[in-house]
Amino acid sequence: MISRIDLRGDALPKGGALRDLLPRAEFDVEAALEKVRPICEAVHHRGDAALIDYAERFDGVTLDQVRVPAAALTRALEELDPAVRAGLEESIRRARIVHREQRRSSHTTQVVPGGTVTEKWVPVERVGLYAPGGRSVYPSSVIMNAVPAQEAGVASIALASPPQKEHHGLPHPTILAACALLGVDEVYAVGGAQAVAMFAYGTETCAPANMVTGPGNIWVAAAKRYFTGRIGIDTEAGPTEIAVLADATADPVHVAADLISQAEHDPLAAAVLVTDSVELADAVERELEPQIAATKHVEDRILPALRGKQSAIVLVDGVDEGLRVVDAYGAEHLEIQTADAAAVAQRVRNAGAVFVGPWSPVSLGDYCAGSNHVLPTGGCACHSSGLSVQSFLRGIHIVDYTRDALAEVTHHVVTLAEAEDLPAHGAAVKARFDWKVPGK
């Protein structure tokens, strides 16, 4: 059901070669880029009309307008299952607790007497959020994108989610209800690359945004790449990943359940177990079959994901070697199920989020841990972070020097400008003084 990779002994390479041995889904954003280009440009030139055409072509719905009426948001919240509402409200509450603590404060540093540099943090003005609506509905992603943007102080927030044929061309009602709970009242029934294009270019109905965030399929990822430079993005999110670093102390029931939990997202989802215990590996494999038989999405998602080249059990000699493997892999979600898991977790360098011990499963982070579940995939955790308040803030340096402070450093500025063959740079400083080269 799931392949094995044996990296015990001399099979564990050093350096970059290790990353190439590890399982990974094929996710060719570059190839998809050429297919989304005409979609993006159609939105650029035809605006709402192109969005309506693509809704009929891709989603099978006929729209009169792409903006979701306010009444639909109100109705969705009124009709929401009370238990689901309670769960969403608790998720929002916990996310706010964590993200509110992330807000940065402006800070002024006195470099020399009379010379200061202030770093001021300013939120982006307008953000477009994307909530997927394909194989599953993700109100949790609405929360994970909206809360940090709101806590950062973003003044204008809009959200797009694909129109649903079974819901009369509106996004899924649970998505709309989550928006209503969060106070996000600008919502569009637009999906895929065309949603990113709508936010990037703007249309008759939707003003352009400075930034687009939120997970999506390969077409959304390709559109983000297409617009990089014009707008800010969070990440080119690929298929979801879970890696579990476990030793003989781990419970195979827990490990199997957690691997399955991420495999149910998508046939390209990655589920990787890294362990030094062959006995645990065998027990997890035995446990997969009955747990899969008891759930849904088996043939279309879970089995293709677990049997795919992106999933595997990786055997290592010990926890130290396992840490080398998971750091090379850079998982979106990394569980540590070992003896002294908290100490092992502190040694992890590359992961989108780390889940410590048997009582912190990835599913908790997906909904109610308070952490953010919009995380780097495809190994990008080695250089990128998950979505946070910082994602929506820009640092601006404010330089304030007096005449005397500038005079004191002028000779260094002039010398460095001449060393770079940029004499006008030095002249711009010398013009402020009756200045001569010291010693001449």
Taking CB atoms within 8 Å and a gap of at least 24, the contacts of 76-79 are 76/173, 76/174, 76/176, 76/177, 76/180, 77/176, 77/177, 77/180, 77/181, 79/173, 79/177
What is the distance between the alpha carbons of residues 381 and 375, in angstroms, rounded to a whole number?
A: 8
Annotated active-site residue 265? The verdict is no
Told to judge if 333 belongs to the known catalytic residues of this protein, a careful annotator would answer: yes
Q: What tokens appear for 84 in the block? A: 């689901």
Question: Of the residues 151, 332, 335, 373, which is catalytic?
Answer: 332
Name residue 336's beta-bridge partners. 245, 356
- The pair of structure tokens assigned to 267 is 């046939």
**Axis-axis angle for helices 70-78, 173-182 (nearest 10):** 100
Q: Identify whether the C-beta of residue 20 lies closer than 8 Å to the C-beta of residue 160.
A: no
DSSP-assigned states of every residue in 335-354: EEESTTHHHHHHT--S-SEE
Residue 197, both tokens = 């294009």
Phi, psi at 332, each rounded to 5°? -60, -50
**Tokens for 335?**
């569980």
Q: Which of 99, 172, 333, 373 is catalytic?
A: 333
Give the pair of three-digit tokens for residue 204. 């008759």
H/E stretch holding 288: helix 278-293
Residues with catalytic function? 332-333
